[in-house]
């Protein structure tokens, strides 16, 4: 298993990084290693020498056919690193790419290079293993389709989220009311999902998962007090902020493609909304028809109690019983 700390250490001597996406290759070395590779004192003045010592000594091949590199950008990154960034193009199409580097014999013994493709760890290269073959980074279209599917699947197979939506549906009096409530929830979870997925602000799953369970119990209990639309929108918005951190936790487990981060986030969110809309479209007409029956208020309370009990059980499971 590749060390998860490798990206953070990429500027330290002894460990460099090679990152490949659908169009670019990025090589990042610590400055002492640039000194080992090329006799330069100033990065800007020695760009050509750095290119010759780094990019010109790697190859990228698609199914055995070599790819071409454009003239690179050589720049300092942060205080202690140098990045060589170049666009590449391949005449042949292949599901696999092979990356090979032959500068390890120039670097200090034991040097390793972390190889990342599409934001995911692929291999740890070294003098003993200077080459790796891997699946090509997915295209933007492939990322979009995959993350829409993941969003839909998370809704239709996520029992806790389905219970939350069910609690909201039970008290809805019209399609318009439900759309307003769901929109508030969508805006809220989009905010926290984006913040967490981009690393701006995160919450521990040990906090988020119990809060999601508590939100389910709360919605079930709130149904007994006939919440107005404004109150429910406000409450649902607040709860949506919590659920967004839960979605982010799922994406963290799956892994987000760094070169298509925005596409992945937008499409996952879109998939969540499609799944949610499908549930609402199927269930709400039935519930609205049942709402006209004289016995519905009692039935609604029983179903809401079940939602509240489920949320309470999951809350205990994720805290005391966990």
User: DSSP alpha helices (H): ranges in 73-204?
Assistant: 140-157, 159-170, 175-197
Query: Per-residue pLDDT tens for 163-179?
Result: 998 998 898 888 888 88
**What are the two backbone dihedrals, phi and then psi, of residue 294, each rounded to the nearest 5 degrees?**
-65, -30
Which pTM was predicted?
A: 0.63
Q: What are phi and psi of 227, to 5 degrees?
A: -65, 140
- Return the domain boundaries, the chain: 6-135, 140-318
Average pLDDT over residues 106-112: 92
Q: What pLDDT sits at residue 259?
A: 65
pLDDT tens for 185-195 read 889 999 998 88
User: What is the per-residue pLDDT for 264?
Assistant: 84
Query: Is pLDDT above 90 for 216?
Result: yes
* b/e sequence 46-84, b meaning 16+ C-beta within 10 Å: bbeebbebbbebbebbbeeeebebeebebeeeeeebbbb
* Burial grade of 216 (CB within 10 A; 0-12, 13-18, 19 or more): buried
Q: What is the pLDDT of residues 277-312, one digit of tens each?
A: 888 888 888 988 898 899 999 999 999 999 999 999
* Tens digit of each residue's pLDDT (9 = 90 or more) over 38-55: 988 888 889 999 999 999
């Amino acid at each position: 298993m590749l060390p998860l700390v490798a990206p953070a250490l990429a500027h330290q001597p002894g460990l460099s990084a090679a990152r490949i996406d659908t169009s670019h290759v990025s090589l990042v070395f610590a400055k002492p290693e640039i000194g080992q590779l090329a006799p330069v004192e100033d990065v800007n003045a020695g760009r050509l020498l750095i290119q010759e010592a780094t990019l010109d000594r790697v190859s990228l091949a698609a199914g055995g056919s070599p790819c071409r590199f454009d003239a690179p950008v050589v720049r300092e990154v942060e205080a202690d690193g140098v990045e060589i960034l170049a666009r590449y193009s391949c005449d042949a199409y292949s599901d696999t790419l092979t990356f090979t580097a032959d500068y390890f014999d120039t670097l200090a013994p034991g040097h390793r290079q972390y190889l990342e493709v599409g934001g995911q760890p692929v291999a740890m290269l070294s003098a003993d293993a200077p080459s790796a073959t891997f699946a090509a980074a997915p295209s933007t279209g492939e990322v979009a389709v995959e993350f829409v599917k993941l969003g839909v699947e998370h809704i239709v197979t996520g029992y806790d989220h389905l219970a939350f939506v069910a609690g909201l549906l039970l008290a809805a009096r019209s399609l318009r009311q439900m759309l307003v409530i769901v929109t508030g929830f969508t805006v809220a979870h989009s905010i926290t999902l984006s913040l967490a997925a981009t690393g701006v602000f995160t919450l521990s799953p040990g906090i988020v998962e119990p809060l999601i369970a508590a939100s389910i119990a709360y919605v079930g209990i709130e149904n007994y007090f006939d919440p107005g639309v404004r109150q429910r929108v406000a409450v649902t918005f607040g709860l949506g902020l919590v659920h967004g951190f839960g979605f982010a936790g799922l994406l963290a487990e799956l892994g987000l493609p760094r070169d298509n981060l925005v596409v992945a986030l937008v499409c996952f969110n879109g998939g969540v909304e499609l799944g949610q809309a499908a549930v609402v479209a199927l269930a709400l007409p039935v519930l609205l028809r049942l709402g006209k029956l004289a016995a519905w208020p009692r039935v609604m309370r029983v179903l809401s109690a079940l939602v509240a009990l489920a949320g309470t059980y999951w809350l205990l499971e994720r805290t005391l019983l966990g």
